[in-house]
């Protein structure tokens, strides 16, 4: 069973088989000829700033720094847009300073090396998105460099492709706000299947609140730890796959009722519920991902998004992929969870292939589908049916 994980250090551009780089349409400000960009992510409860470089001499991409801060809501509560935006506003300037200082230690004016400022244009929560977009606009104007708006979902995918060195995988994108099975064709990331109601991360978060699990470091992580209990027993839960789509709201309603009755009566434990919920939800995701693999003829799967760092999900997916003679590309929390470097990664691709965002078009949107983005950096090839 082949499992590749995200690696540190330079990532070779040739591994992802993008189109040849055209002549730059932007100013390379680094004296050594590297293209260096700064990315700002703040679509949900995490605000992150990443500095990323492309070195033409080695034809590689390297993350120079990637600090972030997380807004942790009180136990039993979710994170609300207003409080989350306040959190991002309080931390984004310090994170920019920290990212630049880490990337260029000891330099007096490291911003002079930056060729562009990339930011999350959407999708996400309105107020947090706007807070980070305003920061990006200010920096671009102060430094006199172009802006590059990035689709959050595409940022996850491109981070995964370059970090794992995979060129054309089937992508399972699982996070607090998104659940999609994606395959590339003709310069678009095509959505083969998705949730028809709530995202898997939202389902897990709301379940965690129901049973009183902490939001620190995240509800999903604490569910994963509870599910590892050796005495956990499986409880039958609804299994809702509709063609290539999935539904989580009915399962959530069911486990909330179990918590109010059987858990309260001592008939089941929190570990039983965490284990059962994980196994059921992840089995649904594995099923629709396998169907996408069969349709497209691909033998690699890349898991991205915050839920993607769950080791049980990776293990279940790896088993399926191995049985099909393929390989799984998985990442840890550094790159699965929202971060500034993933925005910088998708942003530098857009910049290198001629895309910039004018100040007038630097608005944010809460709805921005993955397949709305034309990926100019990828060859317009189509999948082969099997």
Is the pLDDT assigned to residue 5 strictly greater than 90? no
Same domain for 204 and 348, yes or no, is: no
**What's residue 8's pLDDT?**
75
Chain position carrying tokens 């330079």: 10
In angstroms, the CA 110 to CA 168 distance is 35
Answer yes or no: is 176 a known binding residue.
yes
- Residue 64: enclosing H or E segment and its boundaries? strand 60-65
371 is in an annotated binding site: no
Query: Does the annotation place 220 within a ligand binding site?
Result: yes
Within a 10 A sphere around the Cβ of 81, how many other Cβ atoms?
A: 17
Both 179 and 145 in a single domain?
Answer: no
Whether the pLDDT of residue 381 is over 60: the answer is yes
**Is 15 inside a domain boundary?**
yes
Sign of the Cα torsion 343, 348, 354, 357 reads positive
Of the candidates 313, 320, 322, 318, the residue with the CA atom closest to the CA atom of residue 277: 313
124 marked ligand binding residue: no
pTM value is 0.96
Structurally, the chain folds into a number of domains equal to 2
Q: Please indicate if the annotation marks 385 as binding a ligand.
A: no
pLDDT digits (tens, 9 = 90+) for 18-74: 999 999 999 999 999 999 999 999 999 999 999 999 999 999 999 999 999 999 999
| Residue after which a domain boundary falls, among 335, 354, 381 | 335
Structural domain includes residue 260:
yes
Termini Cα distance of the chain: 22
132-148 core/surface letters (b: 16 or more CB in 10 A; e: else)? bbebbbebbeebebbbb
CB atoms within 10 A of CB 327: 20
**205 assigned binding-site residue:** yes
Query: For the segment 358-373, what is each residue's pLDDT rounded down to a tens digit?
Result: 999 999 999 999 999 9
Do 86 and 133 belong together in one domain? Answer: yes
**Are 125 and 151 contained in the same domain?**
yes
For residue 1, what pLDDT is reported? 44
Residue 174 in marked binding region: yes
pLDDT at 384: 63
Same domain? 149 vs 176: no
**51 in a domain, yes or no?**
yes
- Domain with 118 in it: 2-164+336-372
- Judge whether 373 is annotated as a binding position: no
380: in domain = no
* Mean pLDDT of the chain, nearest integer: 95
DSSP 257: H
pLDDT tens readout for residues 296-317: 999 999 999 999 999 999 999 9
Q: What are 238-272's pLDDT values in tens digits?
A: 999 999 999 999 999 999 999 999 999 999 999 99
Question: Measured between alpha carbons, how far is 349 from 187 in angstroms, rounded to an integer?
Answer: 13
Domain match, 220 and 265 both = yes
8-state DSSP, 195: B
- pLDDT (0 to 100) of residue 383: 61
Residue 71 annotated as binding?
no
């Amino acid at each position: 069973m082949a499992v590749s994980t995200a690696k540190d250090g330079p990532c070779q551009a040739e591994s992802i088989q993008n189109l040849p780089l055209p002549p730059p349409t932007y100013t390379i400000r680094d004296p050594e000829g590297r293209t260096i960009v700064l990315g700002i992510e703040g679509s949900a409860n995490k605000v992150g700033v990443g500095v990323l470089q492309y070195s033409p001499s080695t034809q590689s991409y390297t993350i120079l720094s990637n600090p972030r801060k997380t807004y942790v809501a009180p136990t039993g509560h979710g994170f609300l847009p207003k409080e989350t935006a306040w959190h991002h506003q309080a931390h984004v300037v310090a994170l920019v300073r920290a990212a630049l200082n880490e990337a260029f230690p000891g330099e007096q004016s490291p911003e002079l090396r930056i060729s562009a400022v990339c930011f999350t244009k959407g999708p996400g929560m309105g107020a947090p998105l706007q807070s980070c977009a305003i920061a990006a606009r200010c920096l671009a104007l102060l430094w006199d460099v172009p802006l590059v708006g990035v689709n959050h979902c595409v940022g996850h995918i491109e981070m995964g492709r370059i970090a794992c060195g995979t060129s054309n995988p089937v992508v399972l994108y699982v996070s607090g706000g998104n659940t999609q099975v994606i395959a590339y064709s003709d310069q678009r990331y095509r959505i083969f299947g998705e949730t028809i109601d709530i995202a898997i991360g939202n389902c897990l978060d709301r379940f965690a609140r129901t049973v009183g699990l902490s939001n620190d470091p995240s509800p999903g992580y604490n569910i994963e730890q509870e599910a590892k209990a050796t005495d956990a027993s499986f409880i039958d839960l609804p299994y809702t796959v509709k063609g290539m789509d999935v539904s989580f709201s009915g399962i959530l309603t069911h486990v909330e009722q179990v918590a109010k009755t059987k858990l309260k009566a001592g008939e089941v434990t929190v570990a039983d519920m965490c284990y059962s919920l994980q196994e059921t939800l992840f089995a649904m995701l594995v099923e629709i991902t396998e169907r996408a693999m069969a349709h497209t003829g691909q033998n690699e799967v890349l898991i991205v998004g915050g839920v993607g760092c769950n080791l049980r999900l990776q293990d279940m997916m790896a088993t399926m992929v191995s049985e099909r003679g393929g390989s799984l590309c998985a990442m840890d929390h550094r790159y699965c969870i929202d971060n500034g470097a993933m925005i910088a990664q998708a942003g530098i691709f857009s910049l290198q292939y001629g895309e910039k965002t004018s100040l007038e078009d630097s608005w944010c949107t809460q709805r921005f589908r993955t397949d709305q983005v034309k990926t100019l950096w990828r060859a317009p090839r189509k999948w082969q049916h099997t």
